[in-house]
Chains A and B, each alone.
Chain A
Amino acid sequence: MADNSNVLARFENMYKYFGITHAVDGVTLEVTRGEIHGLVGENGSGKSTLLSLIAGIRRPDSGKMTVNGQDYAPHDNTQASQRGVSMIVQEINTLAGLTVAENIFLGQEHLFTKYGFRNIKKMNEMAREYLNKAGLDLIKPDEEISHYSLEQRKLIEMVKASYIKPELLMIDETSTALSHDGRDEMYKLMKDTRARNGSVLLISHDLQEIFQFCDRITIMRDGRVVDTVNAKDVDEDKLKALMVGRDVSGHYYREDYGTPISDKVVLRTKGLTCPGHFENIDLELHEGEILGLGGLSESGMHEIGRAIFGIEYDVTGDVIIGDKKVEGIQQTMHAGLGYVSKNRDVESLFAKASIADNINVTCMDKLSRGIYLSPRKMKKFADESTHTLSVKMRDVDQLVGELSGGNKQKVALTKWMARGTKIFVMDSPTRGIDVAVKAVIYDLLTKLKDQGCSMIVISEELLELIGVCDRILVTKDGRIVDEFLRSPDLSEETIVKSMI
């Protein structure tokens, strides 16, 4: 077994079914010491499920796992971390109501417990030490965790995953929740682990990130491993082709430059202010324009989007659509504006309702004759609406919760398009979506633009903004600090400079 001495972990013939879905369907994967191993694939290809099996969050239906040459079958993630395996999950995984230190040492309380009593002071001191090491000097160990923002909580999770000095660190699509600083922290953690001769398994939809850090890349599709390649041997197009199983052209952003924008202003804000989030926002959206809002996630840009739609509390200042001042969601919608939330599953969609229900919900006024609604007409309407974006589904009676992330987003967009919305506010429209659907959405943005619709696209992905927007506003600390016009020479670095 001399040639295997460099193998840290081996996972053989892993299976996991959810009902009739074969989430992980016979995967074999080998992780060598001192490598950052990328795991890529479309939504629903089984990447996250595979990692959750390794981390002990879920139990595999069958399969053999070895770590350091010994059998490994964790019952939960505490057992996994005792074997040097830890994971940062995609969702927020901190427990509200507990303090920062309690969250960090969750499942490890025995470190501070003597005669059944927990030494909280010692725990807080230790937490302080680890937080400082990670450069999080401002976070207090004894503060309740829900007082911190999502990003900070994510960073605390990183501290939690790293203080045990894991041999195998797994990161599931975390960078989308982080700002640039946070990402740097994550990259540092990955590199440290590699330097210790440990290994990292990284899931990311951001292929640049994958290429920048990974030594080897495993591509998954439909619960199976398609191939494992050396990062040096492939390029982005090749990787995309492997992910979706067919050729994908390298450009999926629009390619026109210098197209004139109409002078007609369809939406303007005047002195829009929300204490604690943003101040004095004056912006103008022209007809047929794609306006980008970029910045760090804490910069207030998400809240600006929400305030325009009329859902943020304590907002002063005016939102004017056309020449009418609007207030509250109903008025805003009536004036022709639609909002696609960043938090798709909670705020945009009804997971336990059918696709038809989800689409029709904003179109009731259009569908009803007097007060009468015809169920048949509603079904037909939904059926026709889904064709525009070719939602992959059984039929419109299928539950939205059963769809994959990308298809869910298509439904969320269709819901507003079917209504005849003229102005869209889209918050992170491609968040957690695979390349194939991303391309569809970028395509749609251009199409909507051609139809004279105007859009505000809020995103942390600067390349995306550069790729699709006519104009980009940069927000920082709740203010608009810079403006860039669409140009082939616009680079990410330029924008980053004004962001921070």
Chain B
Amino acid sequence: MDKTKLKRIGTALAPFLGLILLIALFAILTDGASIQLSNFKLLINQTFTLVLVCTGVFGVMTLGMMDLSCGTVVCICCFMVAKVCQVNIFVGLVTALLTGIGMGAFNGFTTSILKMPSFLATLCLQYIITGLMTQLIASAAVTVPAELYFFDEFWYKLPLVLVLLIGAYFLFRHTKLGHYMRMVGSNETAAIFSGINVRKIKMISYTMAGGLCAVSGFLVAIRSGTAAVTSGTDMMFNSMIALTLGGFPNGGGAKARFSAPIVGSFMFCVLNNGLSILGVSSTTQAFIKGAIFLFMVILMAENVKTAVSSGIKKIFGGKEKASEIN
């Protein structure tokens, strides 16, 4: 009994351990440059945009679905901030937020009402937005109004992100919605048979993901100062890598933990930051990230885990009673 409890705690702590190891590794490789206080602040600053997208995608992926449009939703919201804020700041921010929420709701509509596979539906939206953005941003990138720059300050952004994350955590862990999300992810049919309104859950999850992408788009806009066709679009792949790094189970479901988006995006940024300090070129970085992603997906696969654990048992000749399971 104690053994299984230990195993459970081990599984829960593994991502944190990975994070510490990663930080330690880069501290050694960069001769301590990566753990300077100033760098740490920079690191957290870099994490803000990713962790928001990650949290949104986390909700959707817990349902066993995908959101391939998140990067481009960040992009279009970033554009709205830059463009509409030139007219009126308040209107601009609201427009951006509504755009994000609207895009999310659209994903919810196509996947839950029209019952399109989420992979295809969100991929389509990604292409639609990319096309739209190429039209809108015709030639040069749009500049963000200077009045907004004041917000690009660590101590303003931190509370904003924290509030959103705590809110998301509360929803996920302490409300019906969060539990239903995990249950829908582990077996949709059984969820329907248990009286869960699966459509509603999907709709809410996608909408919230859209909203979080909008906030992330705002942060991208004020940080980079411009909105281009590529602004934030790398977020789609990065968020998936981050989630797997954070120990998110393949396919979502009941074992999804809220630590995954938080620890995962932080790990991702540590990796990014460390590689940059080491002077690794961006093409090599992409290669490394892809390899790590693949490795993590394989590691998280259920059958690999069983194979590895039974292999270990065979090597050490440990024998356990069958009755432990039955």
> Which A residues have a C-beta under 8 Å from some C-beta of B?
17, 19-23, 25, 44, 222-223, 309, 311, 329-330, 333, 339, 341, 346-354, 357, 360-362, 364-365, 368, 371-375, 392, 394-395, 397-398, 402, 404, 415
Contact = CB atoms under 8 A, between A and B. Distances in A.
Contacts of A361: 179-180, 183, 191, 194, 196
Given A330-B197, A350-B253, A373-B174, 16 more contacts: A20-B325, A25-B322, A44-B326, A329-B192, A329-B195, A352-B253, A353-B183, A353-B253, A353-B255, A361-B196, A365-B176, A368-B176, A374-B174, A394-B1, A394-B4, A398-B4
Contacts of B179: 357, 360-361, 364, 373
A373 B313 contact: no
Q: Which 3 A-B pairs have the closest CB atoms?
A: A353-B254, A22-B322, A333-B195
Contacts of A333: 195
A286 to B, nearest CB: 25
Contacts of B38: none
Interface in B170-186: 173-176, 179-180, 182-183, 186
B324 interface: yes
A19 B189 contact: no
Contact of A346 (B176, B187, B196): B187
B306 interface: yes
A311 B198 CA distance: 13
B129 to A, nearest CB: 33
A371 B176 contact: yes
A319 to B, nearest CB: 15
A350 B325 CA distance: 17
A342 B176 CA distance: 27
Interface string B11-39: 00000000000000000000000000000
Nearest to B318: A20
B282 interface: no
Nearest to B255: A352
A244 to B, nearest CB: 13
A357 B326 contact: no
A350 B173 CA distance: 18
Interface residues of B, number: 36
A350 B320 CA distance: 26
Nearest to A373: B174
A362 to B, nearest CB: 5
A373 B182 CA distance: 15
Given A361-B183, A364-B179, A347 B189 contact: yes
Contact of B326 (A21, A352, A395): A21
B186 A346 contact: no
Interface of B: 1, 4, 8, 173-176, 179-180, 182-183, 186-187, 189-197, 253-255, 306, 309-310, 313, 320-326
A421 to B, nearest CB: 11
Contacts, number: 110
B193 A350 contact: no
B187 A350 contact: yes
Contacts of A20: 310, 313, 320-322, 324-325
B194 A362 contact: yes
Contacts of A353: 182-183, 186-187, 253-255
A408 to B, nearest CB: 12
A225 B325 CA distance: 20
Contact of B187 (A222, A339, A349, A371): A349
A346 B189 contact: yes
Contacts of A394: 1, 4, 324
Given A20-B325, A21-B326, A357 B254 contact: yes
Contacts of B255: 352-353
Contacts of B173: 375
9 contacts: A19-B313, A309-B193, A357-B254, A360-B179, A371-B176, A372-B174, A373-B176, A394-B324, A415-B194
Contacts of A222: 322-323, 326
Nearest to B253: A352
Contact of A402 (B180, B182, B193, B325): B325
Contact of B193 (A341, A357, A364): A341
Contacts of B191: 350, 361
Contact of B1 (A17, A354, A374, A395): A395
Contacts of B326: 21, 44, 222, 392, 404
Contacts of A398: 4
Nearest to A365: B176
B254 A352 contact: yes
B58 to A, nearest CB: 17
